[in-house]
Structure 1
Amino acid sequence: MENQYTYYKPEQDPQNQPNMGGGDMGRQGQHRKNGASKLIKTICLGLVFGLVASAAFQTSNMVAGKLLGKTSNTKQTETVSNTKLTTSSSSTVNSDIANIAKNTMPSVVSITNMSVQEVQSFFGGTQERQSESVGSGIIIGQNDSELLIVTNNHVVEGNDTLTVSFIDETSVEANVKGTDPNKDLAVVAVDLSKVGESTLDQIAVATMGDSSQIQVGETAIAIGNALGYGQSVTTGIISATGRELDGIDVKLIQTDAAINPGNSGGALLNAKGEVIGINTAKVATDSVEGMGYAIPISEAQETIENLMNQETKMKVDEKDRGYIGIQGVDVTEDTSKMYNMPTGVYVSEVSSGGGADKAGITKGCVITAINGTSVNDMEALQEQLQYYAKGETVTLTIRVPGNNGEYTENQVEVKLGSAGK
């Protein structure tokens, strides 16, 4: 089974995919003809039965009239031109889900990630291309100067710019507060001074629920920016709890509420309208339906609060960015299990005189975090480093191998240098 993260890229719009069912359409057409033929036969039999029944009914009425001494004059039915359908006097439908959606939508936002990616060109080389992907987020609080929004790490990773759109369709640029790739969580911040008064009046902070108390079979409501079209609502039930997916270091909630591309980072709610999960992924195969996943809010709470309280990250110009001074290799989950190593970045080479060398980092160490933000591969480490300038000091969490094959965790301060050092 293929696990598909549910952020959405417009160039992957499923409406633009070719129809691969041409052979089946021919057979379906034949079935339609056979079905239509049977339907016509059934209708004809119904008409015959109706005519016979009508004749019998009229005959019985005539006999009854003679026996009872009644007479009747045949009268043609007149068509009344002003006949109308009966309609309800109320235009409002009372629905618990409708009320929940109405109350929760102001706390859900759309997030647009503009990034630059390297793609293979027609001539075999690579070229940079601007890429856009969209996801969702949940307003979880604010501090003195910022509005704070939780989402998935995969919604914001690799971004050049992030844009948040609110319930009133106004949009504001956002910055990353903190990320945790292992749990696929991120918090982004919006400068309150850039949010208009009318928008502040319409948005709301979401109410968190207790995901540890949910039961299989209870109502689940998903809200998010499906396919980038804007907020939409789907409903279902909690299908299971404690599910595991590769690449996410937390046990997930499974639901059959539709989790579509663009729903990533959106809210999974209970019947009280409380957030019990952060939508993150779905199983995407032709043979599977209704298997979406969300990160339980109770298990994510400590991580989210840690990310909320980090310093907001502002990207540094590329020429000013700092470097640790290592060459690294990814330690994936498979590699970790095979060689009994922690996941992260394996230090394969240390640049002489660089920051890592001066800090005492040696070949064989595994870097697992930078300034409290976990990193599970070289890409994640490089993404974090783009927020720090040369000359700044960062704290690296490293795992140092011992003679018995066990790893010891240390915190090491590294002064960042220039490229190549």
Structure 2
Amino acid sequence: MENHGDPRDREGESGTEHEEYEFLQETLKDEKKRGRIGKSTIIKCAALGLVFGMAASLGFFALKPWAEDLMLGDPNEITIPEEEEDEGNTATTEEEQSLVVSMDHYREMSAALTEIADKAKYSMARISVAADDTVDAENITGADETDAAGTDSVTGVIIADNGQEYLVFGSNRVCQGEEAVEVTFADGRSYEAGVKQSDGTLGYAVYAVHKSSLAASTAEKIQVATLGRTGTAEQGNTVIAMGDPFGYGDSIGYGVIASSGTEKNRTDGEYQVIGTDISGTSDGTGALFNVNGEVVGMIDAAARDEDMATVTAYGISDLKAMIECLSNGETVPYLGITGVSVTEEIASDQGIPRGVYVQKVEADSPAMEAGIQSGDVITEVAKTAVTTLSAYHTVLMKQKTGDSIRVKGMRKGTDGYVDVQYNVTVGSFR
């Protein structure tokens, strides 16, 4: 073992080494002197121990790569692509500015949609079976799906002011019985309403509230809705679902149109269906508004497929003729057939004449009484040629209940299709 000698013989060495030697010497002091070590000496010991520990750790990590190189050999070369030369932090700054602009734009868009919804709610009204005494109801912005009497309610759209009444278009499921009906406007006040007219083909009605019965505070806030065009409702467009699309009153949902090219065949017509990405319930009602604040669809669970759980609506354009009839107290013309358009491709492939192929005839309907059968192809209604179900519906909606019209078609026999014609009295289905 090397002899370190007396500390005085090492005066030429560094102060650190001298201190370290003294420290070692100090740790070897007589046992009696150890008791006089104060708190400062203990702290010194702890600090130096920590320093030694850190030095050992650094040494280990410093030697680790060298040891791994010896054991594993040379690693694969990693090449990082060179960045293109830029001027300072310009790219980063532009990217950050772009992000800020995008967030600002989102906030502006959100605020704009909220403003549209705030205005649109004054075009909405809740329709329900009247309680024993019609009183001010909870504000429509907080109303439940059921009214005070516990009966069902729906949300409709204020579609017209005929000078004497405000007219509300909505589901007819609250006017199936003899009970009185009430309408609750956006200010939360409820008023007695009458059923202007109802239709059973799609299940809609127009309800009327006399303007003379309204409080001034209610009347000044009512806004008649603007009915838009379904053709403007394209896939990807932003829409607002208003009413109770989620099964409870005063719901608002924001989303986009997921599909707009689907059509549903219903009795005596076909109706464009607007599908959205907004979650909804099977009994939701209300309306879809576009970003211009126009109604583009009426929310109806019957418009969607059974396995769908999103808000779906009938396009407003296909409902306008019905709305006009009901608003004027007229019944919707009804023959009672469900059909499908025979396109040129179908006609060529299957040898079926162009027109409306009758898939079903409703029991006790005017069509059945006239002798129209499933499998017939309707080619003319009221002296107007029809080659599509949409054209058939358009012609029918120009008729009046009670009119006698001639319907021409073709029926398949043993030698192919033969001409047939029927005299049909236009009816109604309520």
TM-score of the superposition, structure 2-length normalised?
0.49
TM-score of the superposition, structure 1-length normalised?
0.49
Higher RCO structure (Cα 8 Å, ≥6 apart): 1
